Structure 1
């Protein structure tokens, strides 16, 4: 390639580079503003008071125990539903059980703490253990808490009666046995809404 052609190519390349640099810089007006936004989530805080509902000894068939407790919404959001999971463990003192002790512990959820005369729902512990939490809400908590559920910062008193069912037959297999009952209450938020 001749010197003239090389020089021409160099000048063209330089001109192209300068045009690219010059074309990339230009002046314009601008303005900007920053907004500060906050999204804070509320809290669901369902509490049960007292946490140990029942500790009783020396039960015999036909005995019953009445206990009351509070469901408290200590959170900032309303609780629409309260569900209950039931579990229990039996200690067979003599190793002679042929039946489930939970079948003979009847649970009556009572409506009014003052009157103690209206039963919302009655079942046995073994049936309660097999029920879905949603069924528990429908039969037990909905009649008492109503459509409003448990609004933030409120509480509801509930009363429960435990009966050791006397079936009129030999129940000696349960002598000395114990049943550890575990109830897990869960609160569910209301449906989302425009804020």
Structure 2
């Protein structure tokens, strides 16, 4: 092989080698950082204490019954409102009812003392329920933790809490029931029972920037 051919072959081989090196490797700096992230949901945990607000026997027309209980927010999230729904069942002992027993059981008031202000004040400023029968209450869903008249509590210096129920707090509730004496024959209700179920449903506050 001539010298020219050998030199030409060597140059071609060298060029191929440079091409392979250039195309197969590339040196650069790099750095890596890994982040660990968590999304933890809060909890709504509403409790009524006690769970049985009223359990009374041998009532008669004209009787009034006052009870107290607490609504507690045992969760980690604030509650914006607590809807109260009413369902009842009448047990007709003698199968002779013409009227609905629920029309004769009146809620005189359901008072949220924390929203009213300084202790328990029987008034019309912040009654969750005022003067309605259980029959009519079936079609209502009042908010048990709403400050209905913050203007009046401010004006009277009562300092009632804002609407809603903050996490870790409780509202003191007072309720009065009356077996209404309508000055008429109510004998059909003798021996009857009314089973009342109050359901309190808590709702979260609006979403916010975190």
The runs of 5 or more residues in structure 1 that have no matched partner are 1-21
1:127 is paired with a residue of what secondary structure? Answer: helix
What root-mean-square deviation, in Å, do the aligned CA atoms of Structure 1 and Structure 2 show? 2.4
Query: What is the deviation of 1:147?
Result: 3.6
Query: What is the deviation of 1:186?
Result: 0.9
Cα distance change on mapping 1:32 and 1:177 into 2, 3 Å: same
Query: What is the deviation of 1:118?
Result: 2.2
Render the CA deviation track for 1:52-77: whole Å, top value 9, x for unaligned.
01110001000011000000000111
2:60 is paired with a residue of what secondary structure? Answer: coil
Structure 2: how far apart are the matches of 1:32 and 1:154?
A: 46
Question: As a proportion of its length, which structure holds more helix?
Answer: 1
Q: How many residues align?
A: 170
Cα distance change on mapping 1:118 and 1:36 into 2, 3 Å: same
Query: What is the deviation of 1:142?
Result: 1.3
Partner of 1:83: 83
2:146 to 108, 121, 142: 142
Render the CA deviation track for 1:119-160: whole Å, top value 9, x for unaligned.
5122110111111x2xx11xx531378544111100010000
The runs of 5 or more residues in structure 2 that have no matched partner are 1-20, 149-159
2:146 is paired with a residue of what secondary structure? Answer: helix
1:126 is paired with a residue of what secondary structure? Answer: helix
Partner of 1:130: 139
Asked whether 1:154 is paired with 2:155, we answer no
TM-score (norm 1): 0.79
TM-score (norm 2): 0.73
